[in-house]
Structure 1
Amino acid sequence: MKPVREVFELQALEIIYLTALTGGNSFPGLAMNLEGESEIKQRSLMDAQMRALEAKGYLEIDFMGIAKVNEVLHRFIVAASNCKSYLCQLVQRNQEISKICYFIQDESRFELKHQSGSNTYKLQEIYARHELMFQVIDSIPLIQNLAEDEQSQTVMNGEVDLESWTGQLLQAGAVVTSLAEIQCISEKAQVIRELNLLIHEDQMWLLRRGSDEQISRTSATLSTAVEELCLWLQEA
């Protein structure tokens, strides 16, 4: 049974407001350019976020005008705005892309999922490393497919146009999931490492990019796919 925990629904501007309120300068993966807005407009936007957060019960303003942020939310904002890197997971089905970010700092772990339908973010705390692994793997539609000895060998990009091949499978209903560790200690975000998994009907393939930017694909069973995902996540 999963532990019961608080789940928060947040707008992007609410996250930006909380970041500023808790002393952060920026939030990884979220960029809001308000420089073109007047000071009055910016203040009005921030006041609107404060009222919205109060209405949700995520923020309290005492009679002295001092703001108190929900304890879990406060830990999340501090962890995310101070982290050196974070994990980003993209799962693409047809034309829809689901995006989930995982922020880890010391013993604090949080999952932030973008909900494209409402353009909001769902936040929840993750209590342990093994639970983070479960959350990542559980969001991928892994399948039980061919036996290990029936798998095809690794195919290099020189033998097949992997970009065209991948595009054709996506049009045919394939699902692609990407895991990336993104460095965010400078103004320009940089992908440190990545792992890609393509799933179509009863087949799965791991796609890897080498140091020479060469891409290779390897057929995977359920066990090898889970093993690769776990090994990749253990480095986080």
Structure 2
Amino acid sequence: MSSIFDCGDESQLLAGMRHARQAIGRGEVIVIPTDTVYGVGADAFSPQAVQRLLDAKGRGRDQPPPVLIGARETLVALAESVPEAVDRLVDAFWPGGLTIVLPAQPSLVWDLGETKGTVAVRMPANRVALELLAETGPLAVSSANLTGEAAALTAQEAEGMLGDSVSVYLDDGTSAQGVASTIVDATSLVHRGGESSTGRVRILRHGAVTREQLEEILGDLLEPESSASDEDS
């Protein structure tokens, strides 16, 4: 039986955070608020927990979840290299609605699915999410919905779709933006081995951060417009 906690009530917030930490420690799945849409999360370093997350959404390993972090410094530990252009994106849009794909640190022992050696990372602008991430470390987090359905904007919508496949629901009201994060692929800026490259950043999914905002930061480093997908937090 899953539990839902009202994070607007201080006593429920404290209890909910404790239950969420314990659930993550047991390899279970939780739902958390973010600034974009609600996310369903699990311990990024537990393959069994990540598989539970994928099973809850009804999606395969060919759609690995992004990773949410509580501090920008964690990006350096997860990515093989962080190019200067990515630093500029982080300065401009983190915490916030931008997910950045980079080559993953080869030394990491995890299994997020068929990532092709990459990791998609975001730092959300939500107090509850950031507090939890500070205590749990990086979490694999995807949008809190069944695959093919609209992303949940409330904990109740998430519960209606995911039910008892999730152990703990943290309710922080309606998502502030209600639009999923923008996802950009910056892997071409990095040669494997950490050497700098002269590639461009590609938009994989349009979302909370607009193309115009990205152009202001990247200029010619932003690849010309192409098709993009939607889903995830």
TM-score, normalised to structure 2, is 0.26
**Bigger proportion of residues as strand:** 1
- TM-score under structure 1 length normalisation: 0.25
